[in-house]
Each structure stands twice: as C-alpha cells, then as structure tokens.
Amino acid sequence: MTIAGSVLALLVCRDRACRAAFEADGTREAITDLRCEDCDGPLEAVGWADSEPYHGARGHIDVRRAA
Ligand SMILES: [Zn+2]
C-alpha cells in the first residue's frame, strides 16, 4: 500500500538549449506530468525529497523556479 503524500522534487528541462530548473512540491503523479514553463518540453526529476503534506488537496502542486 502506497500513501500518496507530498514530495519535493528538483526538476530540470531535458532540452539542453533551455536548461530551466524548477522545484515542485506536490504529489508524485502531478509532478511527473509537469512541463517546462519556458519551452513546454518534458522535465526530468533529478532529486526527490519528502515534503510536509501541508497542502492536503490531492493534485495540488506548487512550482518554483530554481536557481
Ligand atoms: Zn525548457
């Protein structure tokens, strides 16, 4: 049994000409569906961490641009 909690992910754009990076906080399913805000290309998760499940709502996702 898997509990769908929030995770924090570090994502990078797979387009090497774009190289945008984002931090996303939400369910793993929602994070996997994210697209790059700059080029609409696929993102690759390069790191995962547990996040406090303070959002509660399933499917909610919070995306920030990472340095
Ligand atoms: Zn991109």
Question: pTM for the complete prediction?
Answer: 0.78
Give residue 2's pLDDT: 52
**CA of 42 relative to ligand 1 center, distance in Å:** 7
The pLDDT score that the predictor gives to residue 5 is 73
Distance 51 CA to ligand 1 centre (A): 25
pLDDT tens-digit series, residues 22-35 = 999 988 888 999 99
d(CA 2, CA 16): 34
Summarised one tens digit per residue, pLDDT across range 1-22 is 455 678 899 999 999 999 999 9
How close is the Cα of 61 to the center of ligand 1, in Å?
A: 18
Per-domain residue ranges for the chain?
6-65
29 CA distance to ligand 1 middle (Å): 20
- Between the CA of 41 and the centroid of ligand 1 the distance, in Å, is 5
Residue 26 CA neighbour count, 13 Å, CB half: 18
| In the predicted structure, residue 46 carries a pLDDT above the cut 90 | yes
**Does the structure show a pLDDT above 90 at 55?**
no
